[in-house]
Structure 1
Amino acid sequence: MNAGGRRRRKSEDQTARMIVENVNNLDIDEDDYDDGGHFDIDSHVESVDLLPLENALAHRTEKYDALREGHLVVRRGQPFYILVRFTGKFSAKNHSVRIVFKTGPAPRPGKGSHVQCLLSSKSSQQDWTAVIASRQGPNALKVSICPPANCIVASWRIVLESIVERNGRPKAYKYIHPKHIHILFNPWCKDDAVYLDKPDLLNEYILNDSGAIFQGNYKQIGAKPWFYGQFEDGILEASLYCIQKGFNSNFCQSMGDPVRTSRIISKMVNSSDDGGVLVGNWSEDYTGGKSPMSWSGSVVILREYMKTKLPVKFGQCFVFSGIVTTICRAVGLPCRSVTNFASAHDTDGSVTIDFYWDLDQKEVLSGIGDSIWNFHCWNDVWMRRDDLPSGYSGWQVVDSTPQERSDGMFQCGPTSLRAVKAGKCDMLYDCPFVFAEVNADKVNWTRDKEKQWIVLSINTDAIGRNISTKIPDGKPLKPELTNTDSIRQDITADYKHPEESERERLSVISASRSAITKKPVYNKGIQDVQFGGFLHRDNVTIGEQFEVKMTFTNNSQSRRTLQGKFICETVSYTGEKIGVVKRQEFSSPLAPATGGEMSMIVSYADYIHKLTEHAAMKVIVVAKVMETGQIHVWQDDFRLRRPDLSVEITSASSRTWQPFECRISFLNPLNRNLTNCTMMVEGPGLDAEKEFMIADVGAGETWIALLTLTPKKPGRRQVAVTFNCDQLKDLNGVTEINITN
């Protein structure tokens, strides 16, 4: 330790030394004080070593940077040890030591935020225990302390009060330790409500500090690398602060309840009600902040929030999900980021997703009805649900994206996945909304000649496709961001039974009983023209043209006339229409028992100036058989492919504090220059993600950059890179490196 470190440590020790006071109204005379106003030195507590590293290894908290500052990070329901040194020989006969734990601005025993226990030679049945584990010489004791498995999860202060007999009279001393003890949830402890009986999964859902959040659509699933960084400097403190703020600094037993805590986290990660972490923005105008696409990790966001105490601008669902994963894993809640493709947003509680068509204009009426997002990200958090009937524990949905109010606040969950799967929408919390997101029926409506709403069609399998999370291998992300099969786990079966199965239909019926339902009037006219042949455009790269195509067959013995319209639109990933790329009307006579096809070509020039940052598009086809009034509507959401970044490391491994080089490259697929280019890098050796300004990239040019990083920590680490420019958004690349000491 250098001289500065010794001086700092000495100052801390002096701060922690005895403050003498009356304890339990002991009678102490002025003669007991020395000239400096302190007691004469008797055998009382002189110092306390929190044994941070020893405890951290036993509690699986050794990765937390808070340890470097001398703080202790432990998990509840499991003993930890402290080394107590006395100024003289410790005598159990003449010493009484009381250990006091306090948390919050106004600790109260009745709220569980002020706890005291007497040091004993044997364990007791008290909630908190402090037991002499061993003697470390005549003047020192190793003490085992065990907080209960339901104690408040927070930063605690520890105080040791010594009562010593001197000349037949008691003296009281107080030792205040200058460092905090961060007590976390403990998913390894059977008595904790977050206990997960598959320890291997905790290598992912607690201990993995990097991963991926999936985006795109259900036919083309891409992965965005994300650095959760729950062990980084200041992140545990930020996480505990968010929870404290969500409880309005009312430190109480609820702060040890994962149900209440996870609901608070869902509220505090968005800024809509309580000045939480992140401002949502889906406008594509990010003046005054950063595009949500530019973030690749949680650390920068949480540090900025702690620095300013103001919401950070801006985020979308995948950023909210990444922050929730960071906070949950930091405080010991097993958590995974989840992406639901074709995710419904039910605005009226009907548990159906309703689209209203103006058939004269052959398009969807805007501004009314529900929406289907190409993808939506939320979180699953593992816990026991003592507030629900038996059978609803396990994974629970927690969603911090501000969509609908719950109990007057923008919060969602925890919602039992088992309740969602069974359609038990009367279970707390927000089950009808989550059920609709994954298993609502899509209903197309229009008006008949009497202006009564009728149902054109019902699609029972359009909602909730390929629900995805990272495979729980506990490892950094593999560089497979386009072909995601090797890194993605499909968890759709956790949320619902197979589509169209009897159990799936029964769950929908069960959910609809608690919903605000409509009484559909079905269009029961003649249906003798069969439609099909709709092309899925899943492999179109930005810069290429694509075709919209429909086939039809007249199954009747009469002549039919088909009229309709192709529409291609750019949309946000939330399904909101941004602009029309191309419209094309068609009319075709159909002889009896014959078929045909119609198509529309969309060129690069048609869409390039109207493309959104997610490169999301929608194709709509509306067709009407004039003789019978039969109507067919069809929609398809898709995303144009963007190139992935190639991230290569020249050496297979590296050592701490030894530089290594990354080679980053991609091919510009456009016939124009890329301007205002930036690169965000998250990797070992960087305290947080770092932004680099990049020169323009020429049309059709292969761009290459070399980057040198110096790792500070050992282990398998992820290097993630995100490239943005005016023309292309959110190009991602990732690789991993094994770092040794």
Structure 2
Amino acid sequence: WKLQVETGAFSTTDRRVFNYDKDVYILYNPWCCEDLVFMPEERFLDEYILADVGKIWVGPYGSSRGREWVFGQFDKSVLPAAMLMFSKSGFSDTSRGDPIKSTRLISKMVNSNDDDGILVGRWDGDYGDGTAPASWTGSVPILEEYLQNEESVCYGQCWVFSGVTTTICRALGIPSRVVSNLVSAHDTNASLSIDKYYDTNDEELDFDPTNPTGEDSIWNYHVWNDVYMARPDLPTGYGGWQAIDATPQETSDGVYQCGPTSLEAIKQGKVGFNYDVAFMVASVNADLMRWKEDPNAPMGYARIYCNKYHIGRMILTKKPFLFDPNGDKDREDITLEYKAKEGTEFERVSLMNAVRGLKSAQSFFSVPENIKADVDFDLVDLDKIKIGEDYEIVVNINNKSDEVRHIRAVLSSSSVFYTGVKAKLIKKAEGSFSVPPRSTETMRLEIRADDYLNKLVEYCIMKIYAIATVDETKETWADEDDFQVVKPTIQIQMPSKTIPIKKPVLVKLSFVNPLKKRLTNCKFQLAGPSLVRNQGIGHRDVGPGGLVEVETQMVPQVAGEQTIVATFAARELMDITGSVKVDVYDDED
């Protein structure tokens, strides 16, 4: 907006006009009870509006970690970049005062799939013509590049989309938090189920025979945002936190956008409410169903297994007023804000409410399981291993019948992208054996470090998989588990954690190369509001087991508690991060 002030006296017609020569931004006011984004518990605005550094939880269930992110919503580039985003979208001036419309627009424009939005998404590991998602330290360099070039920035993934969304929302005065859903469903056909299909030879199909437009998937984790506002377009009780998702997964009203979706509507299964409730219900509470080819079944596939508890294992955000640079004390579990406790009657009733509202889901949930089960199988979960360690797949079998059971089984392990897409097969074994009556057996497959080290992909996530069929009863069982190969963190060292304002301070970043191969194209990124602004530091190639270390200087500009965030990426190794908190003091105080 432009500001013009006209002054004059009542006794004269003379008027003086003052033209303010800088842009004026009119923001939402969450401290004002008449604003739709008003947050009654004002103290939480210190986190959801004012905090310019936070954490985003990434990684599989069992080994997730808080990844530091510099939101930087007070940086000089943020509001102009937001205005550029709005203007590119054709979003009307009158709509910009509506947080429902504005946040839906933000979920569309942070990705580049429509209207030249801010970030290009990429998940295949090939980032040579841009910046690898794992290399970003925060939102400011992304928004600076977008503002400078007026073109979409390469590249982002879900937590990057979410970090940028948080920055824009907080800058505009809309309370926002980052939300991470561990074991997140991507339901492509509104069935409220994640469906995996197998042929008669127990081989998993790489397509969905009931959905030619795509197949369901399970992401190890997925990150989106909650924004806080009243919802006058919905019945009473559905205001408060609303989910929006800027990652381009599925279209809504013809474009890649999602939300705002009332968390209470998700929890109740109110799929008729605006916006995208069915998709969000599936993301956090879909059933995992396995189907095996059967010419006698109505769908051509019989349902052999249904796991009601796998999806949405934990939903996390950063706890207000706390930042833990060395652990997860600042992690807050908000699962029960999205759904009732798993296994309770309320949780099942809510999901069935959603199923009844979707014809596309009813056909899947009306099929009974075709199982005569007298053998129990249990795949032993793995949470994480250190890079270079061996691991094994273990399946415990319990024959509860009074007869011998003959079993055919396949065990395998693969590296996977965090979206659940398989990358490289590491090892596979299959065979047949018998289990005596009323007895137990154990299947094992050992995988050595040399089997997997050259097959890891970004974020070092692995999948173990088992499938077995009992010859006598035709019972088929399958299960899988994802875990992470853990890498080192960046150690950030300074002469003291208490440093003076406006005086140079030496900062040292270091870690040890955990791989048995040379690291090339090495680069650190360093950022911290009021400390150091988006600094890139190159490093020579590093041999196996070698020390990776750089030194740099920074000059603190603002007193108070501050946070430094660092990342490292090489051609052979990425997603190495670290952070430290420092207290900046002013000698004159």
Sort the TM-score into its range (normalised by shorter chain).
over 0.9
Aligned-pair CA distance for 1:361: 4.6
Task: Confirm or deny that 1:572 pairs with 2:572.
Answer: no
Picking from 393, 399, 403, the partner of 1:558 is 403
Distance, in Å, in 1 between the alignment partners of 2:382 and 2:493 is 30
Task: Confirm or deny that 1:398 pairs with 2:264.
Answer: no
Q: Is the 8 A contact 1:715 1:738 kept in 2?
A: yes
Task: Confirm or deny that 1:458 pairs with 2:301.
Answer: no
Post-superposition Cα deviations, 1:481-527, rounded to whole Å, max 9, x if no partner, equal: xx42x021111011011001011111001111122122443343421
Aligned-pair CA distance for 1:535: 2.4
Question: What is the aligned partner in structure 2 of residue 297 from structure 1?
Answer: 138
SS in 1 for 2:353: helix
Question: What is the aligned partner in structure 1 of residue 518 from structure 2?
Answer: 673
Aligned-pair CA distance for 1:621: 0.3
Aligned-pair CA distance for 1:569: 1.3
Question: What is the aligned partner in structure 1 of residue 281 from structure 2?
Answer: 435
Task: Confirm or deny that 1:181 pairs with 2:24.
Answer: yes
Q: 1:658 to 1:687 in 2, by over 3 A?
A: closer
Q: 1:249 to 1:393 in 2, by over 3 A?
A: closer
Picking from 334, 337, 344, the partner of 2:178 is 337
Higher RCO structure, 1 or 2 (CA under 8 Å, sep 6+): 2
Distance, in Å, in 2 between the alignment partners of 1:261 and 1:494 is 23
Q: Structure 2: any 5+ residue segments left out of the alignment?
A: 209-213
Question: What is the aligned partner in structure 2 of residue 599 from structure 1?
Answer: 444
Picking from 189, 197, 203, the partner of 1:348 is 189
Structure 2 residue identity aligned to 1:602: I
Matches within 5 A, 1:594-673: 594-673=439-518
Structure 2 residue identity aligned to 1:691: G
Q: Is the 8 A contact 1:617 1:639 kept in 2?
A: yes
Picking from 324, 342, 363, the partner of 2:204 is 363
Q: 1:200 to 1:173 in 2, by over 3 A?
A: closer
Aligned-pair CA distance for 1:312: 0.4
- What TM-score, normalized to structure 1? 0.75
RMSD (CA atoms): 1.8
Question: What is the aligned partner in structure 2 of residue 62 from structure 1?
Answer: none
Picking from 688, 694, 706, the partner of 2:533 is 688
Aligned-pair CA distance for 1:638: 1.4
Distance, in Å, in 2 between the alignment partners of 1:647 and 1:321 is 26
Distance, in Å, in 2 between the alignment partners of 1:389 and 1:684 is 41
Q: Is the 8 A contact 1:553 1:595 kept in 2?
A: yes
Distance, in Å, in 2 between the alignment partners of 1:445 and 1:189 is 53
Q: Is the 8 A contact 1:685 1:709 kept in 2?
A: no
Larger Rg over CA atoms: 1
Aligned-pair CA distance for 1:647: 1.7
Q: Is the 8 A contact 1:420 1:434 kept in 2?
A: yes
Q: Is the 8 A contact 1:275 1:311 kept in 2?
A: yes
Question: What is the aligned partner in structure 1 of residue 211 from structure 2?
Answer: none
SS in 1 for 2:64: strand
Post-superposition Cα deviations, 1:10-55, rounded to whole Å, max 9, x if no partner, equal: xxxxxxxxxxxxxxxxxxxxxxxxxxxxxxxxxxxxxxxxxxxxxx
Distance, in Å, in 2 between the alignment partners of 1:387 and 1:241 is 28
Picking from 547, 552, 560, the partner of 1:707 is 552
- What TM-score, normalized to structure 2? 0.94
Q: 1:359 to 1:679 in 2, by over 3 A?
A: farther
SS in 1 for 2:33: coil
Post-superposition Cα deviations, 1:62-108, rounded to whole Å, max 9, x if no partner, equal: xxxxxxxxxxxxxxxxxxxxxxxxxxxxxxxxxxxxxxxxxxxxxxx
Q: Is the 8 A contact 2:2 2:20 kept in 1?
A: no
Structure 1 residue identity aligned to 2:240: G
Post-superposition Cα deviations, 1:684-728, rounded to whole Å, max 9, x if no partner, equal: 556631211112233223433333211122221110110112222
Post-superposition Cα deviations, 1:580-604, rounded to whole Å, max 9, x if no partner, equal: 1111112111222222111111122
Distance, in Å, in 2 between the alignment partners of 1:726 and 1:288 is 13
Moved more, 650-659 or 717-726: 650-659
Q: Is the 8 A contact 1:242 1:268 kept in 2?
A: yes
Q: Is the 8 A contact 2:497 2:581 kept in 1?
A: no
Q: Is the 8 A contact 2:61 2:383 kept in 1?
A: no
Q: Is the 8 A contact 2:52 2:529 kept in 1?
A: no
Q: Is the 8 A contact 1:478 1:734 kept in 2?
A: no
Picking from 367, 370, 376, the partner of 1:530 is 376
Q: Is the 8 A contact 2:290 2:305 kept in 1?
A: yes
Matches within 5 A, 1:420-569: 420-450=266-296, 452-473=300-321, 477-480=323-326, 483-484=327-328, 486-515=329-358, 516-517=360-361, 518-519=363-364, 520-532=366-378, 534-569=379-414
Count of aligned pairs between the two proteins:
576
Question: What is the aligned partner in structure 2 of residue 270 from structure 1?
Answer: 111
Aligned-pair CA distance for 1:174: 3.1
Post-superposition Cα deviations, 1:194-215, rounded to whole Å, max 9, x if no partner, equal: 1111122111100000011110
SS in 2 for 1:605: helix
Post-superposition Cα deviations, 1:280-299, rounded to whole Å, max 9, x if no partner, equal: 11121123211111111000
Question: What is the aligned partner in structure 2 of residue 250 from structure 1?
Answer: 92
Aligned-pair CA distance for 1:418: 0.6
Picking from 734, 738, 741, the partner of 2:579 is 734
Q: Structure 1: any 5+ residue segments left out of the alignment?
A: 1-154
Aligned-pair CA distance for 1:428: 0.5
Question: What is the aligned partner in structure 2 of residue 8 from structure 1?
Answer: none
Distance, in Å, in 2 between the alignment partners of 1:525 and 1:376 is 33
Structure 2 residue identity aligned to 1:160: E
Matches within 5 A, 1:279-290: 279-290=120-131
Aligned-pair CA distance for 1:543: 1.4
Aligned-pair CA distance for 1:578: 1.5
SS in 1 for 2:459: coil
SS in 2 for 1:349: coil
Q: 1:525 to 1:317 in 2, by over 3 A?
A: closer
- Percent identity of paired positions between Structure 1 and Structure 2: 39
Distance, in Å, in 1 between the alignment partners of 2:336 and 2:77 is 37
